[in-house]
C-alpha cells in the first residue's frame, strides 16, 4: 500500500487498523497516530467503481451549507486514497442501540433535509440531475438481480418492456416537487450523532458521493422507510408532517403522491441491490432485510396512484415469491 499521503500530511509515526467496510468497494482504515488524539481515516476508494470526484464536489457543497461532513485532510486521486476526519462509531444505528432517543435523532435528520432543501438553490449546474431514465435504470436492478434469484433465469424482453412502460408513465406524470440536492442513501448507517457538536452540526453525513439534483421527497423516503430497521410509526407520521408543514394544499397532494411512487421505486431497487450483494459479492447478510423491503413496497402499492404497478407485481411476484433468495 502506498502511504505517501501521510508524508504529504506531515504524519510519520502511525498505525493502520482495518475496519469493516460497507456495501461498496471502498476499504477503510482507522489511523492511530502516536502521541496524538487526532482521529483520522484512510480510505482506499477505487476510481473504477467509486465516484471520487463526486465525493470532493459534494463535500465542498455540504461544507458551504455549514453541515458536518468528514473534513478532507489530504487526498491522492491518482492513487485512490483519501485521508479524512474520523467521525468515530456513533452512527445512528449504534446510537439507537445505546439508548439515544429515536425521536431526537430522526427530528435532527429531518431538520438536516429541510436545511438542504432550503439551501439547494443554484446547485442545478453543480451536480448531475436525477433524471427519470436514471430512476428507471435503478429500479431495473430489481429485474436484473431479484428476478433470476427467484426464477433462476432472466426475465423476457416483454416483461422488462412492460415494467419500464409502467415506470415511465408513473414518473412522467407525478414528479412535481421542487428539485434539491438528493443524498440518495440517507439512512441510519450514513448518519452519525456527534454529541460534542451543536444544532444541525450534531448530525454527521457520509456516503454522499453520488448526490444529484432531484425530487425533494426522495431522501425523506430513505430516512423514514429504511430498509435496515422498522421506524416507529408515530415518528414516521410526525417527521412526515413536519417536512410538509409549510407546503400549500396542492403541494402537499403532489408531495404525497410523489413520495409513494419514489418509495416503491427505491424499495424495488434496493431489493435488487441486496440480491446483487448476495449473488455477486457473496454478502449474505443483506438478505435479512428483503422481507422488510417487501412489506414497505406492499404498503405503498396500496395507493391508487400505483394500481398498475400493483397489478404487475401481483402477477409476477405473488406472496410466495416475496422471500429471501436461497442458495
Q: Dump pLDDT digits (tens) for 124-161.
A: 899 999 999 999 999 999 999 999 999 999 999 999 99
pLDDT tens, residue by residue, 197-245: 999 999 999 999 999 999 999 999 999 999 999 999 999 999 999 999 9
| Residue 2 pLDDT greater than 80, yes or no | no
Q: pLDDT higher for 37 or 18? A: 18
pLDDT grade for 290, boundaries at 50, 70 and 90: very high
Instruction: Report the pLDDT value the prediction gives residue 57, as an integer from 0 to 100.
Output: 97
Element (H, E) at 301: helix 290-301
**What is this structure's pTM?**
0.94
pLDDT tens, residue by residue, 240-261: 999 999 999 999 999 999 999 9
Distances (CA, A) of 155 to 125, 168, 186, 322: 37, 19, 31, 16
Distances (CA, A) of 63 to 43, 69, 123, 326: 19, 7, 14, 43
Paired strand residues for 156 = none
- In terms of Cβ atoms closer than 10 Å to its own Cβ (0-12, 13-18, 19+), residue 318 is exposed
191: three-class secondary structure by DSSP: strand
In the chain the domains, ranked by start, together with CATH numbers, are 4-85 (3.30.200.20), 92-321 (3.90.1200.10)
| Residue 1 pLDDT greater than 90, yes or no | no
User: 316: how many CB neighbours lie within 10 A of its CB?
Assistant: 16
List the strands of the sheet with 27-33, edge to edge.
14-19, 27-33, 40-44, 81-85, 72-76
- Percentage of the chain beyond pLDDT 90 is 86
Matching residue, cell 478532507: 72
Question: Are 225 and 265 within 8 A, CB to CB?
Answer: no
Q: What integer is the mean pLDDT of 289-299?
A: 97
CA 197 – CA 287 distance, rounded (Å) = 35
Q: Work out the angle at residue 143's Cα, subtended by the Cα atoms of residues 224 and 298, and round it to the nearest 5 degrees.
A: 40
pLDDT grade for 12, boundaries at 50, 70 and 90: confident
Amino acid at each position: 500500500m502506498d502511504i505517501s499521503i501521510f508524508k504529504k500530511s506531515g504524519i510519520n509515526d502511525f498505525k493502520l487498523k482495518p475496519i469493516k467496510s460497507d456495501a461498496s468497494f471502498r476499504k477503510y482504515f482507522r489511523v492511530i497516530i502516536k502521541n496524538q488524539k487526532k482521529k483520522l481515516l484512510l480510505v482506499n476508494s477505487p476510481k473504477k467503481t467509486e465516484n471520487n470526484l463526486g465525493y470532493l464536489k459534494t463535500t465542498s457543497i455540504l461544507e458551504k451549507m455549514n453541515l458536518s461532513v468528514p473534513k478532507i485532510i489530504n487526498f491522492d486521486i491518482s492513487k485512490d486514497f483519501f485521508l479524512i476526519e474520523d467521525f468515530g462509531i456513533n452512527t445512528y444505528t449504534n446510537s439507537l442501540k445505546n439508548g439515544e432517543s429515536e425521536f431526537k435523532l430522526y427530528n435532527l435528520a429531518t431538520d438536516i433535509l429541510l436545511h438542504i432543501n432550503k439551501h439547494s438553490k443554484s446547485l442545478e449546474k453543480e451536480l448531475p440531475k436525477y433524471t427519470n431514465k436514471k430512476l428507471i435504470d435503478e429500479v431495473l436492478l430489481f429485474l436484473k438481480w431479484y428476478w433470476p434469484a427467484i426464477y433462476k433465469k432472466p426475465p423476457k424482453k416483454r416483461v422488462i418492456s412492460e415494467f419500464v412502460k409502467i415506470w415511465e408513465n408513473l414518473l412522467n406524470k407525478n414528479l412535481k416537487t421542487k428539485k434539491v440536492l438528493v443524498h440518495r442513501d440517507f439512512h441510519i448507517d450514513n448518519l452519525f450523532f456527534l454529541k460534542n457538536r451543536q444544532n444541525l452540526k450534531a448530525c454527521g453525513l457520509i456516503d454522499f458521493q453520488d448526490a444529484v439534483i432531484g425530487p425533494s421527497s426522495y431522501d425523506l423516503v430513505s430516512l423514514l422507510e429504511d430498509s435496515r430497521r422498522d421506524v416507529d410509526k408515530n415518528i414516521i407520521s410526525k417527521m412526515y408532517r413536519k417536512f410538509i408543514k409549510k407546503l400549500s394544499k396542492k403541494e402537499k397532494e403532489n408531495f404525497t403522491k410523489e413520495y409513494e411512487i419514489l418509495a416503491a421505486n427505491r424499495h424495488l431497487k434496493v431489493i435488487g441491490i441486496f440480491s446483487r450483494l448476495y449473488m455477486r459479492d457473496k454478502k449474505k447478510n443483506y438478505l435479512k432485510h428483503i422481507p422488510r423491503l417487501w412489506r414497505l413496497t406492499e404498503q405503498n402499492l396500496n395507493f391508487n396512484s400505483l394500481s398498475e404497478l400493483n397489478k404487475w407485481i401481483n402477477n409476477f411476484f405473488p406472496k410466495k415469491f416475496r422471500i429471501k433468495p436461497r442458495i
